[in-house]
Amino acid sequence: MKKGVKIVTIGGGSSYTPELVEGFIKRYDELPISELWLVDIPAGEEKLNIVGSLAKRMVEKAGLPIEVHLTLDRRAALKDADFVTTQFRVGLLDARAKDERIPLKYNVIGQETNGPGGLLKGLRTIPVILEICKDMEELCPDAWLVNFTNPAGMVTEAVLRYSNIKKVVGLCNVPVGIRMGIAKALEVEPERIQVDFAGLNHMVFGLDVYLDGVSIMDEVIEKMANPDTSVTMKNIVNLGWEPEFLQALKAIPCPYHRYYYKTKEMLEEELEAANTVGTRAEVVKQVEAELFELYKDQELAIKPPQLEKRGGAYYSDAACNLINSIYNDKRDIQPVNTRNNGAIASIEDDSAVEVNCIITKDGPKPISVGDLPVAVRGLVQQIKSFERVGAEAAVTGDYNTALLAMTINPLVPSDKVAKEILDEMLEAHKEYLPQFFQTVEA
Ligand code: G6P
C-alpha cells in the first residue's frame, strides 16, 4: 500500500485554493492525500487563515482523513513533500495593476503575462521560485514541482535552466478552457473533444481538433471566427477573428493571441477599460473581496460558484489530473509545459514548451508535432527568445539584459519606448526587485 500523499501548496492563501481542494476531494479514491500544507507569507496570513479554514470545512464535509496544515514556514512544510504546487503573486494584485496600467501610458498593451507586464511579473517571480527550488533540493528532492505561477512559461523556462529541479511541470488552464469552449460552441460533452496543442504557455495553438476522433477543424474555425461562439477566458475580451485569417492559418489561436494578432483593437479596449471600469487587476480586486467575504462564512463548505468569475477557472482540473496521472502512472494525454526534447522542431530541445504529453510516473513525455505552421512559428520563437532573455535578466539583475528582453518583445514598438517603460516599471516595483536595486556593499 502506497503511503499517503503529501501535497504542499505555496501561495495557499490564494482565492483559487478552494478549487484545488475540491479537485483533490473528487479524486481521493485514486489519489489518497494524507497531508495538504497551505503555505503563505506573513502579508498573506489573514487570507491563509480564511481560505485554510474553508479548506478544512470542505475536507471535513467530505469526511476524508486529509490533514490540512496552514503555515508561514515554507521549509517546515516542504519536508518530505511528494508534490509541491506553486500559485503565488509577488506584489499581489496591486503590482499586477501597475503592470497593466503603466504600459498604457506609452500606448503599449498592459497585461498580466504578456508584453511589459509579463516581463516585470517574471522579474519579480523567478528569484522566488528559484529559492523554493533550493529548499526543495534540500527538503524534498524527489518531489514534483507543479507550477501555476505566472508567467508560467517564463517561470518553467527559468526552473529548467537555473535550478537543479528537473521534476518540474508548468500548468495552465488555457488548454482545458479552449477544449471546454469548443465543446460549448459545438454543444457536445467536453470528453468528446480532443485538441492537438502545441506552442508556449499563453502562446499555444490547436493544430487540429477532433470530435469522437474525427477532425472537425473547418467547423471549429467557423465557430472561432464568430464572437458569439468564439473561445475566450473570463479575463480576455472576446473579439472573434476574421474568418479568412483562421481559414488560412488552419489552426486555432488561444485567447492570448488576440494581443498579438488584434493588438490595435485590444489596446483600444484596454485604454477604454482603464478609463472606465478599471484594468483587469482592478476589476479582479473586487471579485477577490467578494470571494473572501464568502469564504469567511463558517457555513460554507464547498467551492462557491463565484470562483468561476476568475480567468483561472478549471485550473484545478489541470493540476489534480496531472498529479493523479503521475501518482498512478495513468499514461493519459494532457497539455503541459515541459522540456521540449524535440517535440516542436523550431524550438530548442532544452526549452520549455506547452504541448500534449503522455503523463507517466516519470512525468510528461511530450508528443512530437513536427513543427508549427510556418505562419506562426516565428512569433513563437520570438516569444521563446523573450522568455529566455527575461529569465536571464531575472536571475542576473542586469539592467541591459532586462532592456534587451523588453525591446525584443513584439508588443513593444522601439528600444526607446522599451527603456522608458522599463525605467518606470523597475522603479514602480522596486521593493520586489532586490536583484536590480541591491545596494553594492560599501
Ligand atoms: C487565465 C490564465 C491565467 C491567468 C488568469 C487571469 O485563465 O490561464 O494564467 O492568471 O486567466 O484571470 P483573472 O481572473 O485573474 O484575470
Ligand 1 atom at shortest distance from the alpha carbon of 148: 9
CA separation for the pair 148, 133 (Å, rounded) = 14
- CA quadruple 302, 305, 308, 313: dihedral positive or negative? positive
Flag whether pLDDT at 146 surpasses 90. Answer: yes
Whether residue 327 lies in the annotated active site: no
The answer to whether the beta carbons of residues 192 and 212 sit under 8 Å apart is: yes
For 265-296, the pLDDT digits (tens) are 999 999 999 999 999 999 999 999 999 999 99
Ligand 1 midpoint to CA 259 (Å): 14
The strand pairing partners of 69, in sequence order, are: 37
φ and ψ at 136, to 5 degrees?
A: -65, -40
Ligand 1 midpoint to CA 113 (Å): 9
Ligand 1 midpoint to CA 409 (Å): 20
CA separation for the pair 62, 36 (Å, rounded) = 15
Mean pLDDT of 32-40: 98
Pocket probe mutation, ligand 1, options 89, 233, 257, max atoms within 8 Å of Cβ: 233
Pocket probe mutation, ligand 1, options 204, 235, 270, 306, max atoms within 8 Å of Cβ: 235
Give residue 156's Cα distance to chain centre.
Answer: 10
Ligand 1 midpoint to CA 318 (Å): 14
Ligand 1 atom at shortest distance from the alpha carbon of 152: 9
CA separation for the pair 231, 197 (Å, rounded) = 15
Flag whether pLDDT at 390 surpasses 60. Answer: yes
Minimum mean pLDDT range among 84-88, 151-155, 305-309: 305-309
Quickly count: other Cβ atoms within 10 Å of residue 148's Cβ: 24
Flag whether pLDDT at 313 surpasses 80. Answer: no
Ligand 1 midpoint to CA 1 (Å): 38
Mean pLDDT of 375-404: 98
Of the candidates 16, 28, 106, 256, the residue annotated as catalytic is: 256
Pocket probe mutation, ligand 1, options 112, 113, 232, 291, max atoms within 8 Å of Cβ: 112
Flag whether pLDDT at 3 surpasses 90. Answer: no
pTM given for the model: 0.96
Stretch (H or E) spanning 428: helix 415-428
Ligand 1 atom at shortest distance from the alpha carbon of 150: 9
Ligand 1 atom at shortest distance from the alpha carbon of 202: 8
CA separation for the pair 420, 403 (Å, rounded) = 10
Q: What is the pLDDT of residue 137?
A: 98
Flag whether pLDDT at 58 surpasses 50. Answer: yes
The residue whose C-alpha atom lies closest to atom 11 belonging to ligand 1 is: 311
What is the distance between the terminal CA atoms of the chain, rounded to a whole angstrom?
58
Mean pLDDT of the chain: 96
The strand pairing partners of 8, in sequence order, are: 37, 84
- Where does the pLDDT of residue 310 fall: very low under 50, low under 70, confident under 90, or very high at 90 and above? confident
The answer to whether the beta carbons of residues 412 and 418 sit under 8 Å apart is: yes
DSSP string, 167-198: SEEE--SHHHHHHHHHHHHHTS-GGGEEEEEE
For 165-193, the pLDDT digits (tens) are 999 999 999 999 999 999 999 999 999 99
DSSP string, 103-170: GGGGT----SSSHHHHHHHHHHHHHHHHHHHHHHHHH-TTPEEEE--SSHHHHHHHHHHHSS--SEEE
Ligand 1 site, CB within 6 A = 112, 150, 172-174, 233-235, 280, 284, 310-312
CA separation for the pair 139, 145 (Å, rounded) = 13
Flag whether pLDDT at 442 surpasses 50. Answer: no
Ligand 1 midpoint to CA 313 (Å): 8
Q: What residues contact 308, with CB distance under 8 A and at least 6 apart? A: 234
110-113-114-118 Cα dihedral, nearest 10 degrees? 80
Residue with cell 522601439: 414
The residue whose C-alpha atom lies closest to atom 13 belonging to ligand 1 is: 311
CA separation for the pair 65, 28 (Å, rounded) = 10
Q: Which of 96, 94, 83 lies closest to 122, judged by CA?
A: 96
Q: Which of 104, 78, 57, 36 lies closest to 165, judged by CA?
A: 78
CA separation for the pair 228, 185 (Å, rounded) = 9
For 406-437, the pLDDT digits (tens) are 999 999 999 999 999 999 999 999 999 999 99
For 110-128, the pLDDT digits (tens) are 999 999 999 999 999 999 9
